[in-house]
């Protein structure tokens, strides 16, 4: 399922075309609007679906598209969108605080740390 975080009107057909193009799908995806700003995406390929989910966050018309995997037992009225994974970059961090522990602390404030990029050659553990 997907939810577009916007208060502005948008073109549903343009959204479908744009996302299909940006996602570079090998197989078809069917997109149905369940209610305003709430959609069901049905992928023909698990490879495509997994790549789209792993590639979050996604945007349409500068508006965030939240995605959530659902099962056949889920009720649409009870699907709750609360977060989406995203990369953040923090500038001007003191050298002694450029480490995984500090990234984990910051991540906790934002809902959790999924991954840490330790490629900064000036970072100190």
Q: What pLDDT score does 83 carry?
A: 81
Three-state secondary structure call for residue 59: strand
Q: What pLDDT score does 5 carry?
A: 93
Q: Which stretches in the chain have pLDDT values below 70?
A: 120-125
Q: What pLDDT score does 123 carry?
A: 53
- Whether the ω angle into residue 5 lies within 30 degrees of 0, i.e. cis, is no
């Amino acid at each position: 399922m997907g939810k577009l975080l916007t208060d502005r009107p948008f073109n549903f057909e343009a959204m479908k075309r744009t996302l299909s193009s940006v996602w570079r799908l090998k197989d078809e995806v069917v997109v149905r609007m369940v209610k305003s700003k709430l959609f069901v995406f049905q992928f023909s390929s698990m490879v495509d679906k997994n790549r789209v989910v792993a590639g979050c966050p996604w945007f349409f018309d500068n508006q965030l598209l939240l995605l959530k995997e659902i099962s056949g037992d889920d009720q649409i009225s009870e699907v709750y969108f609360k977060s989406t994974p995203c990369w953040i970059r923090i500038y001007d961090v003191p050298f002694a605080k450029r480490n995984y522990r500090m990234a984990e602390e910051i991540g906790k404030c934002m809902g959790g740390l999924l991954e840490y990029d330790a490629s900064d050659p000036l970072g100190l553990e």
